[in-house]
Amino acid sequence: MHSQRSSHSFPETEVPADKANLLLLRAARQRAAGRPAGQTGPPDYGRLAEAFRRHTALDEAGLGPELARLRNAIHRAPPRPPTLWGRAMAALGGLLSPVLWRLMRALGVPNPFDAVYEALLRDSERQLAAEERIHQELEAIRARLEELEAAHRNGRPVH
């Protein structure tokens, strides 16, 4: 049954953002502008957000997601088929998983994935920090070269 009734035009139900709460937002902006800046001000959230995205993107090339998943593997039994066998496995998993978890905690056995994953995260962060340092040094060299060129063109001595 294919109805001929076409529903391709949908009413615009979206409320334009900021319209209803314009005054509140204006007051919020004013307050934010009046807060201290610099050392006593907020951290550079923009830079932190950018770094967060770069770190997450780096996970794509590594084993991070898999290790992180394994780290939590015994916390919860996955969904099973709604069959007799599936239900039996779910019941077994439900019984064993907390026992295993408690046993490991009682014995003080550290989750081996924790250490590996932490090392991986530290490595990726170190790599990004090194990239940023190299980038900054290259920028400084470029700026110095431009300065030397300008001085040479003007016939001024360079220090």
Q: Cβ–Cβ contacts within 10 Å for residue 149, how many? A: 11
- For residue 42, state whether it binds other proteins (rule: CB under 8 A): yes
- For residue 138, state whether it binds other proteins (rule: CB under 8 A): no
The helix (run of H) or strand (run of E) holding residue 143 is helix 112-154
- Using the contact rule CB under 8 A, the part of the chain among 61-69, 95-103, 131-139, 141-149 near other proteins is 61-69
User: Closest CB to other proteins among 98 and 121?
Assistant: 121
- For residue 12, state whether it binds other proteins (rule: CB under 8 A): yes
* Beta carbon of residue 22, minimum distance to other proteins (angstroms, whole number): 11
- For residue 21, state whether it binds other proteins (rule: CB under 8 A): yes
Q: What is the rounded CA–CA span in Å between residue 122 and residue 67?
A: 14
Q: What is the rounded CA–CA span in Å between residue 159 and residue 152?
A: 11
- For residue 74, state whether it binds other proteins (rule: CB under 8 A): no
User: Closest CB to other proteins among 90 and 101?
Assistant: 90
Contact 104, 111 (CB under 8 A): yes
Residues in the interface with other proteins (CB under 8 A) total: 58
- For residue 56, state whether it binds other proteins (rule: CB under 8 A): yes
Phi-psi label, residue 158: left if phi above 0, alpha if psi -120 to 50, beta otherwise: beta
Contact 80, 92 (CB under 8 A): no
> Can you read off the two tokens belonging to residue 103?
């046993």
Q: What is the rounded CA–CA span in Å between residue 139 and residue 141?
A: 5
User: Closest CB to other proteins among 36 and 157?
Assistant: 36
* Interface positions with other proteins (CB under 8 A): 1-3, 5-8, 10-18, 20-21, 24-25, 27-29, 31-32, 35, 42-43, 45, 48-49, 52, 55-60, 64-65, 67-69, 71-72, 76-83, 86-87, 90, 117, 121
